[in-house]
Amino acid sequence: MDLSTSQKFTLGYAALVGVGGVMGYLKRGSLMSLGSGGVSSALLYYVYTELPNNPAFASSLGLGVSATLLGSMGYRFQKTKKVFPAGVVALLSLGMTGGYLHGIMRSHH
């Protein structure tokens, strides 16, 4: 199967978010990290599977997930000033939010 660049980035993003949730649980015992990382990762994996067939819908869902992560992790970074993990996830989420916006605009042409 030949993956698009959007799919590759989405799959990598899903993996990082999922691993981050597990790390948050293992390091701090945070069920919130585990739950939100797991749900976000599962939604992003769904986006990955839907991108070839329904790019507007998949990009819209990806936009929602990445914007939510951008908001929550951006707020956490602003509050704690810790680059890792909050700053890194916020920065990645900013990039993915832009990518999904681009995908939505491109699918409407």
User: Each residue of 40-91: pLDDT tens digit?
Assistant: 999 999 999 999 999 999 999 999 999 999 999 999 999 999 998 899 999 9
100-109 residues labelled b (16+ CB within 10 A) or e (exposed): bbebbeeeee
pLDDT score recorded for residue 1: 57
CA-to-CA dists, residue 78 to 45, 74, 87, angstroms: 28, 6, 8
Tally of CB atoms within 10 A around 10:
29
Per cent of the chain over pLDDT 90 is 92
Name which residue leads in pLDDT, 93 or 2.
93
The residues, any chain, with a CB within 8 Å of residue 16's CB and separated by 6 or more, are 89, 92
Angle at 49 between CA 10 and CA 16, to 5 degrees: 30
50 φ, ψ (degrees, to nearest 5): -90, -15
pLDDT score recorded for residue 3: 85
Number of domains in the chain: 1
The model's pTM is: 0.93
Token code pair at residue 86: 């909050």
Domain that residue 60 falls in: 5-107
